[in-house]
C-alpha cells in the first residue's frame, strides 16, 4: 500500500482546525511521513502495512502517530512559533540560559516515543560469550 496513514481531515479532527496554508502543507507532508514510518519499520525487519492488515497494530494507532508527527512539523514550521522549546532553564544573577529545541533542523522528526508506540523500537539485549564459541568441557 502506498497510501497515507492519515488524511488532512484527521489532523483537523484529532488536533485542531487548520488554516488553508497548513492544509496544503499537510497534504504534501502526510505521504512523506507515512513512507518514513514504513522505512523505519523496514529497518527493523517489519512491514507496517502487513502489521496493520494482520491486526498486530490497530490502524488508529498508526493514524494517531502520523497525526502527532505532522502536528509537530506544522507547529515547528509556523512562523510565530518557530522557537518551540522542549526544555528550558534560566538562572538569575549570573545570567545563564539553556534551552533544547524540539526540532532544530525544521524537518520531519520521528521520535523514539513514536516508534515505541508502533512497536518498532524496543529495548535490545545481548550477551557476549567471553570464553569463545568452542570450549573443551573435559
For 14-35, how does the pLDDT look when each residue is reduced to its tens digit (9 = 90+)?
999 999 999 999 999 999 999 9
Report the alpha-carbon distance of residue 114 to residue 107 in Å, rounded: 16
Percent above pLDDT 70 for the chain: 73
Contacts of 18 (CB under 8 A, 6+ apart): 8, 11, 12, 26, 74
Report the alpha-carbon distance of residue 36 to residue 26 in Å, rounded: 15
Report the alpha-carbon distance of residue 63 to residue 14 in Å, rounded: 10
Reading the block at residue 137, the C-alpha cell is 568441557
Q: What is the dihedral of CA 31, 26, 57, 59, to 10 degrees?
A: -100
| Residue 43 confidence class, pLDDT cut points 50, 70, 90 | very high
- Residue 70 and residue 12 in contact, taking contact as beta carbons nearer than 8 Å: no
Closest by Cα among 80, 75, 74, 76 to 29: 74
Domain ranges, ordered by start, for the chain: 8-117
| Residue 82 confidence class, pLDDT cut points 50, 70, 90 | very low
Amino acid at each position: 500500500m502506498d497510501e497515507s496513514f492519515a488524511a488532512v481531515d484527521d489532523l483537523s479532527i484529532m488536533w485542531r482546525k487548520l488554516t488553508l496554508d497548513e492544509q496544503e502543507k499537510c497534504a504534501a507532508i502526510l505521504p512523506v511521513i507515512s513512507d518514513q514510518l514504513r522505512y523505519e519499520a523496514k529497518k527493523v525487519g517489519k512491514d507496517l502495512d502487513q502489521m496493520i492488515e494482520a491486526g498486530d497494530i490497530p490502524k488508529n494507532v498508526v493514524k494517531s502517530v502520523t497525526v502527532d508527527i505532522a502536528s509537530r512539523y506544522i507547529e515547528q514550521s509556523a512562523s510565530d512559533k518557530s522557537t518551540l522549546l522542549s526544555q528550558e532553564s534560566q538562572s538569575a544573577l549570573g545570567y545563564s540560559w539553556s534551552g533544547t529545541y524540539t526540532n532544530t533542523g525544521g524537518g520531519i522528526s520521528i521520535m523514539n516515543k513514536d516508534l515505541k508506540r508502533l512497536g518498532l523500537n524496543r529495548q535490545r539485549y545481548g550477551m557476549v560469550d567471553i570464553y569463545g564459541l568452542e570450549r573443551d568441557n573435559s
